[in-house]
Amino acid sequence: MTVTAEYAFHLPVTPKEAFELISDPAQDPVWQAACVDVKLLNGEPRPGGRYEITFQLIGKRMEFTVEIDEFVPGRRSKFHTLDGPFGYVGTYDYAENSDGTTTVHWTFEVEPGDYFGIMPKSLLRKVLVNSVKKDSAKLATTLGQEARNR
What does the alpha-carbon distance between residue 96 and residue 18 come to, in Å, rounded to a whole number?
A: 10
What does the alpha-carbon distance between residue 136 and residue 129 come to, in Å, rounded to a whole number?
A: 10
What does the alpha-carbon distance between residue 132 and residue 146 come to, in Å, rounded to a whole number?
A: 21
Q: Is the pLDDT of residue 83 over 90?
A: yes
Q: How many domains would you assign to the chain?
A: 1
What does the alpha-carbon distance between residue 69 and residue 136 come to, in Å, rounded to a whole number?
A: 23
What does the alpha-carbon distance between residue 3 and residue 57 come to, in Å, rounded to a whole number?
A: 16
Give the global pTM. Answer: 0.94
Give the tens place of pLDDT for each residue, 32-58.
999 999 999 999 999 999 999 999 988
Tell me the pLDDT of the chain averaged across its residues.
95
Residue 41: how many other CB atoms lie within 10 Å:
12
CATH, residue 114: 3.30.530.20
**3-class SS of residue 79:** strand
- Determine how β-strand 102-111 pairs with β-strand 35-40: unpaired
* Domain of residue 50, residue span: 3-148
**The pLDDT of residue 150:** 65
Give the tens place of pLDDT for each residue, 5-32.
999 999 999 999 999 999 999 999 999 9
